[in-house]
């Protein structure tokens, strides 16, 4: 581990205001006031609601004179109904902003509630297609303070939410520039109690974001550079964060890597995410874990188009000089973190392929894949990932 530093405490202004470092959660009330929030709507998942990190945060807001309501009615893969329920309570309580506190599901739900709080059209009218975001009333978008408690999705840095459409079980991206949180509090101490399996799965999600962005064909040199350093931080610190969850420095570097991955994927994602989304929608698989499982299969499928990039990445990570060095590293890292080898181990069976393929083809991430994807290509990739055929 080659990082040297004086302190992990810093203030950043990219892409939004970030208060980074251990203990910064104590500044939550101050951040709310700075965003003009006097009556925050606190969104988190039920599993966190009774833990000290949430109860202490709520107490701090109340002690600061901020009237707060807790909302926990959300799924691991949030659906439109979760957003609608939140919007109804938000309006009923006359709140003026959202604290989105938790992993990707809570952050996405909280951002979507804030976005929809002042809209009159259905949520699906704002899917990330063409210029649909211009349909929104920007004055009706409430401010958000984002507090991530996992190092994976990086949703705290994003201008969108991923919400499942219950009508067809597809994940859809709801986008608007003003969905970017007004402030982010990134406190690695909030992640100290995160179990090793969740640490590993969310960390691999962070890797998938930087890796797919890096391999994508879109020209975005800023995203390319951020992706490179994000992957280096994952290489250096994910095994340590998983093995020793009390290491606040490891947690901090992984939190940075997660945020970096989300910034980098402005450049685009690809078939890893396009394959993962149907699995999560249909069978409720963990998003980061699913990305980790399909990762080597997609890398091998894209190998001819990304050979030069992977060779450069291998040299940067100091793990070899060939493209297959990256594939071998991913496989070794998965084994070290006890990530399953196949989608079959996640409950995905071959009879689902017929349903998943069109969903993957329609997924907006497909367009960012280095190799143009077809129905046949996805059929083969799903079959390989289910059965464990690495060729």
Query: How many structural domains are present in the chain?
Result: 2
Domain boundary among 190, 215, 235: 190
Give the mean model confidence (pLDDT) for residues 365-389: 97
What local confidence, expressed as pLDDT, does residue 4 receive?
55
- Quote the pLDDT of residue 5: 61
Handedness of CA 280, 285, 287, 290 (dihedral sign): negative
Domain boundary among 138, 165, 190: 190
Q: Is 60 exceeded by the pLDDT of residue 363?
A: yes
pLDDT surpassing 90 at residue 335 = yes
Work out the average pLDDT over 203-212: 98
Residue 23's domain comprises 10-190
pLDDT of residue 3 exceeding 70, the answer is no
Q: Do 174 and 307 belong to one domain? A: no
pLDDT band at residue 256 under the 50/70/90 scheme = very high
pLDDT digits (tens, 9 = 90+) for 263-288: 999 999 999 999 999 999 999 999 99
* Same domain for 184 and 68: yes
Rounded mean pLDDT, 83-103: 98
Res. 97 pLDDT band, cuts 50 70 90 = very high
Query: Kind and range of the H or E element at 308?
Result: helix 303-317
42-78 burial, b at 16+ Cβ within 10 Å, e below that, comes to bbbbeebbeeebbeebbebbeeeebebebbbbbeebb
The DSSP code sequence of 90-131 is HHHTT--EEEEEESHHHHHHHHHHHHHTT--S-GGGGBSSTT
Supply the mean pLDDT for the chain: 96
Q: Does residue 4 belong to any structural domain of this protein? A: no
Would you state the pLDDT for residue 391?
83
- Min mean pLDDT across 2-6, 80-84, 102-106 is at 2-6
Cα angle at 352 between 350 and 355, to 5 degrees? 135
For residue 347, the domain's CATH number is: 1.20.1090.10
Classify residue 3: in a domain, yes or no: no
* Residues 220, 363 within the same domain: yes
Tell whether the model's pLDDT for residue 2 goes beyond 70: no
Tell me the mean pLDDT in the region 5-22. Answer: 91
Predicted pLDDT of residue 7? 82
Residues 202 and 315 in one domain: yes
Percent of the chain clearing pLDDT 90 (strictly above)? 97
Q: Look up residue 204 and give its two tokens.
A: 């691999």
Are 211 and 81 within one domain? Answer: no
What pLDDT score was predicted for residue 1?
54
**Could you tell me if 359 and 278 are in contact, meaning their C-beta atoms sit under 8 angstroms apart?**
yes
pLDDT of 307 reads 98
Q: How confident is the model at residue 6 (pLDDT cuts 50, 70, 90)?
A: low
pLDDT at 375: 98
31-82 pLDDT per residue, tens:
999 999 999 999 999 999 999 999 999 999 999 999 999 999 999 999 999 9
pLDDT digits (tens, 9 = 90+) for 155-185: 999 999 999 999 988 999 999 999 999 999 9
Residue 5 domain flag:
no
């Amino acid at each position: 581990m080659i990082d040297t530093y004086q302190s992990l405490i810093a203030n950043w202004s990219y892409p939004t205001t970030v208060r980074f470092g251990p203990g910064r959660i104590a500044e939550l009330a101050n951040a709310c006031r700075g965003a003009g929030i006097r009556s925050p709507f606190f969104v988190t998942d039920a599993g966190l609601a009774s833990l000290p990190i949430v109860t202490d945060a709520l107490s701090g807001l109340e002690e600061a004179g901020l009237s707060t309501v807790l909302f926990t009615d959300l799924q691991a893969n949030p659906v439109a109904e979760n957003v609608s329920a939140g919007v109804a309570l938000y309006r009923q309580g006359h709140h003026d902003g959202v604290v989105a506190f938790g992993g990707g599901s809570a952050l996405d739900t909280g951002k979507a509630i804030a976005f929809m709080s002042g809209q009159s059209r259905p949520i699906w009218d704002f899917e990330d297609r063409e210029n649909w975001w211009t349909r929104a009333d920007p004055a009706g978008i409430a401010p958000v303070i984002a507090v991530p408690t996992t190092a994976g999705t990086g949703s705290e840095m994003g201008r969108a939410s991923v919400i499942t459409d219950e009508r067809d079980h597809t994940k859809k991206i709801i986008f608007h520039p003003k969905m970017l949180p007004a402030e982010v509090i990134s406190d690695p101490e909030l992640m100290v109690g995160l179990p090793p399996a969740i640490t590993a799965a969310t960390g691999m999600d962070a890797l998938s974001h930087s890796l797919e962005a890096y391999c994508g064909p879109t020209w975005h040199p800023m995203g390319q550079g951020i992706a490179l350093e994000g992957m280096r931080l994952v290489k250096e610190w994910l095994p340590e964060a998983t093995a020793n969850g009390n290491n606040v420095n490891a947690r901090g570097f992984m939190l940075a890597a997660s945020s970096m991955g989300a910034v980098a994927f402005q450049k685009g994602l690809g078939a890893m995410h396009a394959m993962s989304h149907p699995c999560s929608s249909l069978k409720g698989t963990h998003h980061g874990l699913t990305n980790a499982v399909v990762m080597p299969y997609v890398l091998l499928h894209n190998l001819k188009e990304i050979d030069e990039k992977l060779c450069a990445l291998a040299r940067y990570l100091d793990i070899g000089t060939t493209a297959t060095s990256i594939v071998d590293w991913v496989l070794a890292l998965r084994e070290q973190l006890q990530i399953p080898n196949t989608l079959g181990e996640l409950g995905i069976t071959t009879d689902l392929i017929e349903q998943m393929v069109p969903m993957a083809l329609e997924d907006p991430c497909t367009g960012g894949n280095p190799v143009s994807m077809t129905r046949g290509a996805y059929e083969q990739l799903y079959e390989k990932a289910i059965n464990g055929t690495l060729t």
